[in-house]
Structure 1
Amino acid sequence: MTVALMWEAKAAGGRGGELLAWARDQELAEAPQRRETYTAPGDRVLVITWWSGGLSAKLPELPDPPEELTARPVHRWRFEQV
Structure 2
Amino acid sequence: MTVALMWEARAVPGRGADLLAWAQERLRELPGRPLRHETLRAPQDRVLVITWWDAPYDADLPELPEPDEERVVRAVHRWRFESLGGA
TM-score by length of 1: 0.96
Task: Point out 4+ residue stretches in structure 1 off by more than 4 angstroms.
Answer: none
Q: Give the match's secondary structure for 1:63.
A: coil
How far the C-alpha of 1:54 sits from its partner, in A, is 1.8
For residue 51 of structure 2, what is the aligned residue in structure 1?
49
> What residue is the counterpart of 1:68 in the other structure?
70
TM-superposed deviation, 1:16: 0.5
Q: Show structure 1 runs of 5+ residues with no match.
A: none
Which residue of structure 2 lines up, in the alignment, with residue 7 of structure 1?
A: 7
Structure 2 unmatched ranges of 5 or more: none
Matched to 2:22, the amino acid is W
Query: Which amino acid in 2 is paired with 1:18?
Result: D
Give the AA of the match of 1:5: L
Distance (Å, rounded) in 2 between the aligned partners of 1:56 and 1:67: 29
**SS in structure 1 opposite 2:70?**
helix
| TM-score normalised over the length of structure 2 | 0.91
CA distance in 2 between partners of 1:58 and 1:73 (Å): 21
- Aligned CA-pair RMSD: 0.7
CA–CA separation in structure 2 for the residues paired with 1:55 and 1:65: 25
How many angstroms apart in 2 are the aligned matches of 1:81 and 1:25? Answer: 25
